Amino acid sequence: MDRRQFLKTSSALLAFGSLPKIVLAKPSDGFDYELVVAPADVRIAPHGNTPAWCFNGHFPAPVIRAKQHQPVRIRVVNKLTEPTTIHWHGLRIPIAMDGVPFLSQRPIMPGETFDYEFTPPDAGTFWYHPHMNSVEQLGKGLVGALIVDEAVDPGFDADVVMGLKNWHIRDDGSFTALTTPRNAFRMGTPGRLMTVNGKTAPTYYVPTGGAIRARLVNIDNTVTYDISGQGAELTIVSIDGNPIARPRPLEQHLMGPGMRLDVGFIAPHQAGQTITIYHKHDVLVTFKTVGADKQRQQLPSLPLNPIPSPDLDNAEVIKFAFEWDASINPIEKNGEVNYRFWTINRKAWEGMSAGDIPAPLAKLKRGKSYIFELANLTQYHHPIHLHGHTFTVLASNKQTIEPFHSDTVLLGQNEIARIAFVADNPGRWMYHCHVIEHLKTGLMGYIEVA
């Protein structure tokens, strides 16, 4: 990282209220970042430490900053007692870097390292997490933000990254159950302590009269956040890592697990003023203005990402139904129940291993355009995420849609949405609900592009 990029990164990280300790590999190592995956005691709850699993020994995890069209190299060191991987959520990168065990890479075993290297084609707000033992590894803290800066700096005065997570912990810091069958069958097991970057309702200081970019990243296993705000004219400038063609006022926006939202605003032109962002009626974060007036009058514009345009007139339509599994759950040889609550096209994900890869949900021809019709035939929200591609959300039977690009679409009760994309990235790509308990109990599969 050059000095300018390092200073910009450090300034953005200071918005957390405390500076996460990013561990940079030595230049001679040839890596931009090193992520050490290991247990660590962290202070989240008011009256005791939590035995979390962390990147580089702390929470929040290091914010990784890459740059559009430039390669980034990340070495992952596994110091857990179980295998892991890292998936770079939302990035259109080669399949070998996607971080799905067996489907795209061999798991990183305890004591091993794995080197990820890729060149992000798109700028925006993304995140990273394991794709093994997901309920526990994500639930205990292995989640972090990945920011891809634009090739040309758009010129915001402050860039604040905020990871939203409900922790399954008691006041003394000990963990409660990360999942229960009763809740996995429904919306998922809720956490008890709502946090932003590991803090409850933090306050961040932003320059008076400055142009502010607030990046919200839903790194929670379960919660769909209902975002609103007051104190300034808040504008949605980007959804799920992709700038929107026509920024619009933030009135209310639902963010399912895995989803992101970039909100821009001109801070009040008087020091000491506050701007608040809410989840429903609960305060998520407060911004307070400090310093001399920057006298900004309008937000910088963000360039659109170079997403291929699907040929809608000639696109093949494939339908997917997301439903409950009404069958009797099988009992394993050890007597444990193998819970299977959810299905895609009446097929529940049963897992995979090095020698047992199930058939794909669909086989797509490379370079061809497709329209997926996604039908949520249940009463619960499902944020449906597709790896390796960015799609265009076209329409919904429940809401008026102005088409936008995304990698995760939130389906409400009995909602049917249509998404379109060009299948231009070869490989076997996971395709699943990002409520982690849903994917672990059946709501997952993959598509193959060849």
Q: Report helix, strand and coil shares of the chain as percent, to nearest 5.
A: 10, 45, 50
Element spanning 272, H or E: none
Residue 121: inside a domain, yes or no?
yes
| One domain, residues 197 and 109 | no
Residue 298: inside a domain, yes or no?
no
| One domain, residues 165 and 227 | yes
Given a contact cutoff of 8 angstroms between Cβ atoms, the answer to whether 369 and 419 are in contact is no
Tokens of 266: 């001109």
| One domain, residues 225 and 207 | yes
Residue 409 CA to residue 400 CA, distance in Å, equals 14
- What is the residue range of 440's domain? 312-449
> Along the 450 residues of the chain, how does pLDDT read in single tens digits?
333 443 344 444 444 333 334 445 544 466 689 999 999 999 999 999 999 999 999 999 999 999 999 999 999 999 999 999 999 999 999 999 999 999 999 999 999 999 999 999 999 999 999 999 999 999 999 999 999 999 999 999 999 999 999 999 999 999 999 999 889 889 999 899 999 999 999 999 999 999 999 999 999 999 999 999 999 999 999 999 999 999 999 999 999 999 999 999 999 999 999 999 999 999 999 999 999 999 999 999 999 999 999 999 999 999 999 998 866 666 666 767 667 789 999 999 988 988 899 999 999 999 999 999 999 999 999 999 999 999 999 999 999 999 999 999 999 999 999 999 999 999 999 999 999 999 999 999 999 999
| One domain, residues 138 and 187 | no
| One domain, residues 396 and 341 | yes
Report the candidate in 139, 131, 192 with the shortest Cα–Cα distance to residue 349: 131
Residue 137 CA to residue 141 CA, distance in Å, equals 7
Coil, helix or strand at residue 10: helix
Domain boundary among 232, 255, 290: 290
| One domain, residues 316 and 445 | yes
| One domain, residues 382 and 418 | yes
Residue 418: inside a domain, yes or no?
yes
pTM of the model: 0.92
* Number of folded domains that form the chain: 3
Residue 189: inside a domain, yes or no?
yes
DSSP state of 273: -
Given a contact cutoff of 8 angstroms between Cβ atoms, the answer to whether 42 and 59 are in contact is yes
| One domain, residues 243 and 321 | no
Residue 398 CA to residue 415 CA, distance in Å, equals 6
Quickly tell me which residue has 């139904």 as its tokens.
321
Domain boundary among 290, 321, 348: 290
Element spanning 409, H or E: strand 408-411
Residue 18 CA to residue 120 CA, distance in Å, equals 28
Coil, helix or strand at residue 183: helix
Amino acid at 354: A
Domain boundary among 115, 150, 185: 150
| One domain, residues 434 and 334 | yes
Tokens of 415: 């909602």
Residue 415: inside a domain, yes or no?
yes
